[in-house]
Structure 1
């Protein structure tokens, strides 16, 4: 008969260090430390203690750490990831915690969310954005699925400067070189040894993109973390004058499925 230790080894490697009910940990020697527990401690105070009746979406759920924390607070959670290996870990861990009835794990790309009906009261969009080849499309899709609050996190460039923006003439492009102008660095090959690290944004770009997607930034619970909510006073242009471009992109990926 296989022991829990055997099952943990068979499901390795683990990126989430889960603390199992019997005291075992799935990645006690994680190179980042006790990850993502320390990240959860940063965002947990921003999330209501009682999520009963809430629907939650965990994008890039990996082995399900955040999904399980939200489920413990009473939310019904959809966790999505494109990697079947991590989803196997998450489904196994759900059984260990006895949370199978509250958490649904599905293999999906973030772009597939455009096919889902309905919205979520709480969305976690953390540690995914810089891995996406088409980041603004993904953010537009996720923003449209956010009914209440979103916690967004991405790797950023050093610095917190934000430059004022205005409508410059085409020959006044020197303004784009200002330190606080919104910028994304494109990674053609690899960053930190990972070929899926496509983009590194500066702080100004993250805030600008969130606003452009129709989100209002309400707080910064931790480093590189943005607490947001839909902004009815400044909806995304893709819900108004630029709707056709969004629908064309979404329909294209639907037709390819």
Structure 2
């Protein structure tokens, strides 16, 4: 059986991952990976990937030289529409890890909640990826505090944001794009018809949450300048312990 045929055995792919030349998993995320501005060079860094799903960012960190990546997920998000059987725990991640030739020591993965992250359990990390997860949490600032407690250099956070979309103000084009510091709460499935979506901040709020978690140098930006559909209403924040040196050339 070919690699392409093996890929088709899985009922659902979230990430689009290149496994070999011309062979990709048929996922749709991330929508615009270049906009994340992840450091090009992660040589020697220990990285934590929270909410790893199929592992796109885990494998990307390894491609950029990370000495080890630990991926965690609790498989609680079903996008509001997937059957339980569609999320096959670590099956897709393990398949990609094997296809890409990474061993379990350098490319570790653990089933656990972000609230369980601790230095005692996992040690410390230079860089933390926290993508597509914050809005699924009932206690988002607590999660940021847990991650901050194990992060030495940089945290990168990607999430849904309110700047161009608000459930309670009328939808697309009715968000909070000014100086407001706002977060909306969804007790049912108000956001994206997904009952695991709990909180969404605007970008201003997101940066201040990262700052409050213990990163004095916090910046943020929208991933899509003028989103046309809800999945494009995403923002990104970076929190650093130290300011970026003036001659820094590690982002793109």
TM-score interval (norm. to shorter): 0.7 to 0.9
Contact 1:217/1:226 (8 A) holds in 2: no
User: For structure 2, which runs of at least 5 residues remain unmatched after alignment?
Assistant: 76-86, 165-177, 224-234, 244-252
Match in the other structure for 1:94: 97
Q: Within 1, Cα distance between the matches of 2:181 and 2:136?
A: 19
Whether 1:135 aligns to 2:140 is yes
- CA distance, structure 1, for counterparts of residue 204 and residue 21 of structure 2: 44
- How many Å separate the matches in 2 of 1:129 and 1:65? 18
CA deviation map 1:120-160 (0-9, x unaligned): 0011011100000111111100111111111111111126x
Higher alpha-carbon deviation: 78-87 or 143-152: 78-87
Find the counterpart in structure 1 of residue 124 from structure 2: 119
SS in 2 for 1:67: helix
Report the counterpart of residue 54 of structure 2 in structure 1. 63
CA distance in 2, matches of 1:99, 1:41: 23
Are the aligned partners of 1:133 and 1:198 in contact in 2 as well (CA < 8 Å)? yes
Distance 1:27 1:108, change over 3 A: same
The aligned counterpart of 1:146 is 151
Provide TM-score, normalisation by structure 1: 0.72
After TM superposition, where is structure 1 displaced by more than 3 Å over at least 4 residues in a row? 217-222
Give aligned pairs, total.
Answer: 205
User: Is 2:32 the counterpart of 1:39?
Assistant: yes
Q: Which structure shows the higher strand fraction?
A: 2
Q: RMSD across aligned C-alpha pairs, in angstroms? A: 2.3
Distance 1:221 1:70 in 2: 21
Instruction: Determine which structure has the larger helix proportion and give its number.
Output: 1
Structure with bigger RCO (C-alpha 8 Å, 6+ apart) = 2
Q: Is the counterpart of residue 228 in structure 1 residue 233 in structure 2?
A: no
Gaps of 5+ in 1: 160-178, 233-257
Q: Deviations over 1:52-107 (max 9, x none)?
A: 32100010111111111111122110011112625211111011011125211111
Larger radius of gyration: 1
